[in-house]
Amino acid sequence: MKKEVNILYVDDELLNLELFALVFKKKFNVITADSGLEGLKKLEENNEISVVISDMRMPGMNGVEFISSAKKKFNNIVYFILTGYEITEEIAGALNKRLINKYF
């Protein structure tokens, strides 16, 4: 079975990256990055990514900052924020500006 959807998952925690890839690799082509900067690099290298899921709390560049930067060049991608915390003003603002499609 051909995997039609390419998902980029960005998280600074290696275990989360490994678990995400393990769970979803049967149905999706999963690409991982351990920082916002690496996520931007992966987007440059792979023009077939159609979904990006990013952790919110990462050192250097948080999820909203990463997605704001990515969306300037890759605006045809669906973006999601993944967080273990309550919604923040920054996430609410990103939802209102339609930078992200959903957070969970």
Nearest Cα to 45, choosing from 57, 63, 33, 60? 33
Tokens of 100: 């992200």
Provide the pLDDT for residue 4.
84
Domain boundaries, the chain: 36-72
DSSP β-bridge partners for residue 64: none
CB atoms within 10 A of CB 55: 22
The pLDDT profile of the chain, 104 residues, written as one tens digit per residue, is 556 899 999 999 999 999 999 999 999 999 999 999 999 999 999 999 999 999 988 999 999 999 999 999 999 999 998 876 676 676 666 666 776 666 66
